[in-house]
Amino acid sequence: MCLILLAYQSHPRYFLIVAANRDEFFRRPAAPAAWWGDRSPVLGGRDLEASGTWLGVTRNGRFAALTNYRDPPAHRPEAPSRGGLVTGFLESTQSPAHYLDALVSQSQAYNGFNLLVADRYDLLAYRNRGEGVQPLARGIHGISNGVLDEPWPKVMQGRAAVHDAIAASDEPDPEILLQLLADRTQAVDSELPDTGIDREWERLLSARFIAAPGYGTRCSTVLLWDVEGKVRFIERSFDERGAELGTVEFTFRITG
């Protein structure tokens, strides 16, 4: 996943609001969002190559999401899948802090990642190529394939768009959040980050919604978690041309 925008305790009626795009190669098989079953409490999409996920939530009030940290020279093809880190938290009973503390000692085995984990009390971030565990302050945050709240155009403009979307109404509109994720505007060259890839790909990847040869935004997800424990989870999927394949929605109440 290459863009996660989230409003944490920033709305009087919502504990957490998430708008996120998963960008991936289309050749990598994946299943759309669903309750996993097989004794797993997870609701989310599923990577059918490595069995993990990029974003998920559970009935007992756990949330996790992950982006890759872009560092091409340090990439190791033999490293374990990072999607298991999301699943590991969702299926555990550890607090966010304890889970991340235990992860730190083994995190260098993975390629670079940003991991967000939350329960009903805390939201924490961890990047294995930099600073340690970070509790997130109330507010609107964004993360792509750099560091948390790094001033990449799509992160900064995405945060502003989420602010406007949730300020426009007492009840945030999921469709507005999905539409802001669908923005294909690319950054001007002078604002592009330098992450070690060629300029053409930096330009293609600078949009919130990516449509590139063989690679792009596979799905957009909106999560609305209100202060009374009601959760709405909406996922919209896309094909290689960026055309909509369908939308699924789940509503449930956190228990336990």
pLDDT digits (tens, 9 = 90+) for 183-234: 999 999 999 999 999 999 999 999 999 999 999 999 999 999 999 999 999 9
Q: What is the mean pLDDT of the chain?
A: 95
Confidence band of 1 (pLDDT split at 50, 70, 90): low
Q: Which CATH class is domain 3-253?
A: alpha beta
Residue 217 has a pLDDT of 98
**Cα 18 to chain centroid, rounded:** 8
| 53-80 pLDDT tens trace | 999 999 999 999 999 999 999 999 999 9
Q: Which two tokens stand for residue 200?
A: 């053409």
Q: Which two tokens stand for residue 123?
A: 């939201």
Backbone angles phi, psi at 160, to 5 degrees: -65, -40
Q: In the Cβ-directed half-sphere of 158, how many Cα atoms lie within 13 Å?
A: 35
Q: Are 89 and 62 in contact (CB under 8 A)?
A: yes
Residue 57 has a pLDDT of 98
Q: Outline where DSSP puts E strands in the chain.
A: 3-11, 14-25, 30-37, 40-47, 55-58, 63-68, 113-118, 123-127, 134-135, 139-143, 211-212, 215-226, 230-238, 244-253
Specify the pTM. 0.96
